[in-house]
Structures are given as C-alpha cells and as structure tokens.
C-alpha cells in the first residue's frame, strides 16, 4: 500500500545484488512510495543477480560504482544528478564485505591487507559517499542518509570476525558525519542495526543458521526480515523522522535489550 511517503524525493540506493538483498526490497518500496532513484553496485556485481531487472521494475537506471573509489562515486553522482534532474534527498549505504570472512581467516589470524579492504568496503566507503556528496553540494536540506549495521559493533560475536570492527567504525562515521551534515545542511545520518537476515552477505558468515535461530528465540518479536528493514529505511527517508540523527537504531525485534528469553532458559535446562 502506498502513502506516497517519498513523493518528489530523489536519491541513491546502493547494494541491491539479488531479490534477498535489503537494498532490493528498499528499492521496490521506495518506488511504491513515489521516490525517484538511481541504483548502483560494484562493477563485479553487475554480472551476478538481476539488478537490471530491478531497474526495469523501478523504471530507473543502474550506474556501476565501486564504493571504495572516490572517482567512481563522483561519476555516479554526476550522472545521477543529470538523470534525476536534481540533488538528492536520500542515500542508502547497503554495502558490506570482508575478504577475511570470505576466505575463512579467523580473527586471531587476520590478513591485514584484507582487513584494510574490509574497512574500506564496509565502513570507509560510507565516509567517502558522504564526503563526495558534501563537496559536490548534492544533498538537499532535510535529506536523510542511512547505513546498515549489526550488533556485533557493541557486543562480541566471534563468528562476525573483522566485520565487527568495521561496523563499529561505520557507526562512528555516522555520528561524526551526522554532526557536520546536521550543522551545514539539516541532513540526518543514521545507521540501522538489523537482525540476522538470510542474504548473500548474511549467510556468508560462518554459523549463520545457528545465530539466526538463536536471535529468533531471543527476540520477543522474532527476527526482523529484510522487507521489514526496508520499511524502516523508507520511514527514515520520509519527513516523519526529520529530527532523528547520529543514532544507531536497533531494528531487531527487541533482541538488543533482551537479557534472556524463556525459550533460551528452557533450552539450557
Ligand atoms: P547483500 O549481499 O545482498 O548486499 C551487500 C552488497 O554490498 C552487495 O550488493 C554487494 O555487491 C555490495 N558491495 C560489496 N562490495 C562493494 C563495493 N566495493 N562497492 C559497492 N558495493 C559493494 O547483503 P545484505 O544483507 O542486503 O547487506 C546489506 C547491508 O546490511 C550490509 O552492510 C550488511 O553488512 C548489513 N547487514 C546485514 C545483515 C544480515 O544478516 N544480512 C545484518 C545486519 C546488517
């Protein structure tokens, strides 16, 4: 159902790889709610998944950009502004990847070149996307920028490996850039800390099924789905959340504030 929450708003949506992606669901909902946007993903991701199909469905275009490259981001923004016919009201950063996780390197045996890549792809790219938008003066007043995080930024989840440190950095960047963008443009910057979600990035983490089930049992509302996360992102892009900034917003069915659930106690007996 559409309430036209994003009518007249323009923006950028990163990270739609396939129909499980949080960004994919967000694009469909943003379209439903009247937004106009450009889709982007890493050039290598163009070969996989059906991002072109999504673009067709959303009546838009895909502009490839490696989010670690300032040059690619600059090109993405320049072309997007032209196609959209104006500046941006929202940006979704929905990007994460760790070569250490992907290649099975544990936290006590990290490859440090890969660690730099993890940080650059999963966190510093958020800074780059904001800094380029800032320098090119591309954000409209009262715009909204969202990144996606996970509770491993606050608590230790051994399987989450170096992505935990990347998420801590991502959340810190949201606070620091949120301060500047608030002062200069009334633009808000937040991260949404989402439940474990069965996507390519999510299920790449070892033991995903077990911690997905654990979180499901620990959360009074159960795990939040990708679609529910997309709804929250739409709300954060809408004018109903104008005064929310520099926050890490838990979207996890109550998991983050539950000590233990009855289901878990029963299982420990
Ligand atoms: P996904 O695998 O569908 O999306 C990750 C995206 O990052 C992919 O589209 C991939 O192509 C893109 N990407 C990787 N390297 C890139 C680069 N250099 N430049 C541009 N794009 C690049 O998975 P999902 O779950 O939708 O991930 C979206 C965000 O949500 C990520 O930040 C992830 O860490 C976060 N998140 C996911 C959770 C989960 O359990 N799936 C839980 C909490 C947060």
Give the ipTM of the model, two decimals please. 0.99
Nearest to 149 by CA among 138, 160, 135, 159: 160
Q: Is 113's pLDDT higher than 90?
A: yes
Its CATH class, for the domain covering 10-268, is alpha beta
* 177 catalytic per annotation: no
Report the atom number in ligand 1 closest to the C-alpha of 14. 21
Nearest CA, atom 10, ligand 1: 15
* 42-101 pLDDT tens trace: 999 888 768 999 999 999 999 999 999 999 999 999 999 999 999 999 999 999 999 999
Report the atom number in ligand 1 closest to the C-alpha of 200. 2
* 206-251 pLDDT tens trace: 888 998 999 999 999 999 999 999 999 999 999 999 999 999 999 9
Ligand 1 neighbours (beta carbon < 6 A)? 14-15, 17, 21-23, 41-42, 45, 66-68, 94-97, 121, 148-150, 194, 196-197, 199-202
Report the atom number in ligand 1 closest to the C-alpha of 121. 18
Nearest to 254 by CA among 212, 198, 215: 215
* Residue 157, strand partner residues: none
* 160 catalytic per annotation: yes
Mean of pLDDT values over 167-180:
98
Percent of the chain with pLDDT over 70: 99
Mean of pLDDT values over 20-36:
98
What pLDDT score was predicted for residue 49? 66
Mean of pLDDT values over 112-133:
98
Measured at the alpha carbon of residue 222, what is the angle toward residues 19 and 201, in degrees to the nearest 5? 35
What pLDDT score was predicted for residue 97? 97
User: What is the spatial distance between Cα 150 and Cα 71, in angstroms, rounded to a whole number?
Assistant: 28
């Amino acid at each position: 159902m559409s309430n036209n929450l994003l009518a007249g708003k323009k923006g950028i949506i990163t990270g739609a790889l396939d129909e499980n992606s949080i960004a994919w669901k967000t694009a469909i909902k943003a379209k439903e709610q009247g937004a106009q946007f450009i889709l982007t993903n890493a050039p290598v991701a163009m070969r996989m998944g059906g991002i072109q199909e999504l673009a067709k469905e959303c009546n838009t275009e895909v502009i490839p950009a490696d989010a670690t490259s300032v040059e690619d981001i600059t090109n993405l923004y320049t072309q997007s502004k032209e196609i959209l016919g104006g500046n941006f009201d929202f940006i979704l950063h929905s990007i994460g990847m760790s070569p250490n996780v992907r290649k099975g390197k544990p936290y006590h045996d990290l490859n440090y070149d890969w660690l730099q890549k993890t940080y650059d792809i999963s966190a510093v790219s958020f800074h780059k996307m904001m800094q380029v938008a800032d320098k090119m003066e591309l954000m409209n007043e009262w715009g909204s920028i969202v990144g996606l995080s996970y509770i491993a930024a606050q608590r230790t989840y051994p399987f989450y490996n170096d992505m935990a440190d990347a998420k801590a950095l991502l959340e810190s960047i949201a606070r620091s850039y949120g301060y500047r963008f608030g002062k200069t443009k009334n633009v808000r910057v937040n991260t949404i800390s989402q439940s474990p979600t069965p996507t390519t990035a999510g299920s790449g983490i070892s033991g995903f099924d077990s911690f997905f089930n654990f979180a499901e049992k620990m959360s009074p509302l159960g795990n939040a789905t990708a679609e529910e996360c997309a709804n929250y992102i739409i709300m954060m892009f809408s004018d109903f959340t104008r005064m929310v900034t520099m926050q890490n917003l838990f979207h996890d069915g109550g998991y983050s504030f539950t000590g233990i659930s009855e289901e878990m106690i029963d299982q420990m007996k």
